[in-house]
Amino acid sequence: MSKGESPGAAELTFPGDGEMARRMRAYPWASSPLGEPRDWPASLRTACRICLTSRFPMIVWWGERLYMFYNDAYLPLLGDKHPGLMRPGEQVWTEIWPTIGPMLDSVLHTGQATWSEDLLLPMSRHGYWEETYWTYSYSPLHDDDRARGVHGGAGDHRGGGRPAPARRASGPRRPGRAGAQRGRGVRPGHPGPRTGPGGGPVRRRLSART
């Protein structure tokens, strides 16, 4: 954009100089299923601005296929699943989709938000399986009279928002499902943070950053 030129739809919708803002501005939207940002519903453009200007890990899922938009703070949560911009959520979060997919679908079709606390989500995002615990909420993004997308904020509630420990697992376990229908996860019993599957020390990783 030259000096004195008014900012275009991409600059207004994707503000900032972070990695994800740059990726979104450079994305070939004209050939995408969503088309040019100037033609998007106001709710999607606003959600993207809020997401990109927040320092808290945030994600926007849009449409029936739940295309993903997220900010720089969300990058550590994705690990090697990044980049996932404009990919359907099921293709990115494949191993946890049986848990989060129904939650997102419920928000889209009922317009009711979910809340999950300390929910066990085993995942592979660094080349090995981890047992990670998440606290997050999914809220509807409305376009006129119905929900068209979902807005999510992810983090850990322990220690006032500090990074949550994640136990390296020897293989996948079933995600925490207690209370999944009402959007609340209950952390199941597990060995103490200093004990691994074989009784030895546990390698710890971060599951969230703020």
Is 14 strand, coil or helix?
A: coil
Work out the mean pLDDT of the chain and round it to a whole number.
79
Would you state the pLDDT for residue 150?
A: 98
Go through the domains of the chain in sequence order and give each one's CATH number: 9-206 (3.30.450.20)
What does the DSSP 8-state code read for residue 96?
Answer: G
Asked whether 116 and 135 are in contact (CB, 8 A), the reply is yes
Question: What kind and span of H or E run contains 51?
Answer: helix 42-52
What torsion do the CA atoms of 32, 147, 92, 50 make, to the nearest 10 degrees? 80
Distance CA 3, CA 176 (A): 53
List the structure tokens of 20: 């994800």
Q: pLDDT tens-digit profile of 155-206?
A: 743 323 333 455 555 555 555 543 343 344 433 333 333 333 343 333 444 4
DSSP letters spanning 145-184: TEEEEEEEEEE--TTTTPPPEEEE-SS--PPP-TTGGGT-
What pLDDT is stored for residue 31 in this prediction? Answer: 97
What is the reported pTM? 0.74
Q: Cβ of 33: how many Cβ atoms within 10 Å?
A: 11
- How far is the C-alpha of 97 from the C-alpha of 123, rounded, in Å? 10
Residues of the chain with pLDDT under 70: 1-7, 156-210
Neighbours of 134 (CB within 10 A): 27
Is the C-alpha dihedral spanning 82, 86, 91, 92 positive or negative?
Answer: positive
Q: Which helix (H) or strand (E) holds 77?
A: helix 75-78
